[in-house]
């Protein structure tokens, strides 16, 4: 397996998702830095003509645009539902108009986070099919990020195979797929490689992000965040997000599985690693270390 990865050149690209200080930097400066450091695409929260022109001038592509998916998609008010659906559709159309057909999507939070995911799923079923149908009929894709939301409710749907199976029954179109991010699966205890084997044909985008466990913190706090100590960012201390190559994920295996499913898209580094945080210089080092690790298998 390892030799196969090392002796074949994969067609995937390495890009970044705007996080941290990138969000506050001029877009031209971001794209210039990316081009100089070997990053090919950027995922952005929104898109306009100036951004497309700027990225293109540096040889950087737009990998993905965020789908507008507000909480009113789960509202019991039918007028609010309709308005929210139209806002989602408008964001897809805007992306298409600017040459981007891959939308990043996180299921919205319910008004009452304690209501349970089964109730949220019933609300979700009323609005998401129309959005998926629009994407499908216009050649766009929607990639669902399996972020579970915060504890104790974990109120977002789509974070585990049980819910993904149900969601794909409601929206069977392959326009609706997965933004594969092993970091969430690892910290939830879901087998991230088995999940990729089951849903690999649905992968429309990949977030290159990892999770690291801390045995000492697990001893101190259990699977809870600290009660008296100051918790670190991007985790609950017993686990935390980290860059690829410094966590639990086997990226050689992930990339082989992706290739086996014909995935030739983007590995987008979502940098949420507290060890490479605090200044742009340190964040940039995190991006570069992550890219270097991924490139070993390309």
CA of residue 281 relative to chain centroid, distance: 24
Average pLDDT in the 145-166 region?
95
Closest CA to 29 of 297, 37, 70, 150: 37
Closest CA to 250 of 200, 196, 202, 201: 196
The pair of structure tokens assigned to 95 is: 């992306």
Q: How far apart are CA 296 and CA 298, in angstroms?
A: 6
pLDDT exceeding 90 applies to what percent of the chain?
Answer: 91
Band of residue 231 on the pLDDT scale cut at 50, 70, 90: confident
Q: How far apart are CA 29 and CA 290, in angstroms?
A: 20
Contact 248, 187 (CB under 8 A): no
Quick: pLDDT tens for 75-116. 999 999 999 999 999 999 999 999 999 999 999 999 999 999
End-to-end CA distance of the chain: 13
2-210+249-295 CATH:
3.20.20.150
In the chain the beta strands, taken as DSSP E runs, fall at: 13-17, 41-44, 61-66, 102-105, 141-145, 176-180, 203-208, 210-213, 239-242, 266-269
Band of residue 225 on the pLDDT scale cut at 50, 70, 90: confident
Per-residue model confidence (pLDDT) at position 4:
45
Exposed, middle or buried: residue 171 (CB in 10 Å: 0-12, 13-18, 19+)? buried
Per-residue model confidence (pLDDT) at position 230:
87
Q: How far apart are CA 187 and CA 169, in angstroms?
A: 26
Name the β-bridge partners of 44.
65
Closest CA to 17 of 272, 251, 239: 272
Whether the predicted pLDDT of 7 surpasses 80? no
Average pLDDT in the 175-195 region?
98
Closest CA to 145 of 187, 192, 205, 92: 205
How far from 196 is each of 3, 180, 219, 250, CA to CA, in Å?
21, 8, 31, 12
Q: How far apart are CA 127 and CA 110, in angstroms?
A: 13
In 220-263 the beta strands, taken as DSSP E runs, fall at: 239-242
Cis peptide bond N-terminal to 124, omega within 30: no
Band of residue 10 on the pLDDT scale cut at 50, 70, 90: confident
**CB atoms near residue 178 (< 10 Å):** 24
């Amino acid at each position: 397996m390892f030799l196969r990865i090392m002796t074949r050149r994969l067609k995937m690209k390495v890009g970044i998702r705007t996080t941290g200080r990138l969000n506050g930097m001029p877009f031209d400066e971001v794209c210039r830095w990316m081009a100089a450091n070997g990053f090919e695409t950027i995922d952005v929260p929104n898109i306009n003509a100036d951004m497309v022109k700027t990225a293109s001038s540096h040889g950087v592509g737009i990998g993905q645009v965020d789908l507008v998916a507000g909480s009113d998609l789960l509202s019991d008010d039918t007028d609010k539902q309709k308005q929210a659906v139209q806002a989602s559709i408008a964001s897809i159309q805007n992306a298409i108009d600017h040459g981007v057909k891959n939308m990043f999507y996180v299921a919205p939070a319910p008004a009452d986070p304690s209501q349970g995911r089964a109730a949220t799923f019933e609300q979700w079923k009323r609005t998401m099919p129309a959005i998926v149908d629009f994407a499908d009929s216009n050649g766009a894709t929607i990639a669902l990020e399996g972020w579970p939301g915060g504890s104790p409710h974990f109120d977002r749907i789509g974070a585990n195979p049980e819910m993904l199976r149900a969601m794909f029954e409601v929206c069977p179109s392959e326009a609706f797929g997965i933004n594969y991010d092993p970091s969430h699966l690892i910290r939830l205890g879901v087998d991230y490689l088995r999940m990729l084997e089951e849903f690999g044909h649905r992968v429309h985008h990949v977030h290159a992000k990892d999770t690291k466990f801390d045995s000492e913190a697990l001893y101190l706090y259990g699977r809870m965040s600290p009660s008296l100590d100051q918790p670190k960012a991007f985790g609950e201390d017993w686990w935390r997000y980290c860059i690829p190559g410094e966590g639990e994920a086997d990226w050689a295996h992930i990339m082989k599985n992706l290739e086996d499913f014909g995935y030739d898209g983007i590995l987008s580094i979502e940098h949420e690693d507290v060890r490479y945080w605090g200044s742009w210089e340190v964040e940039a080092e995190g991006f570069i270390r992550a890219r270097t690790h991924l490139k070993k298998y390309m």
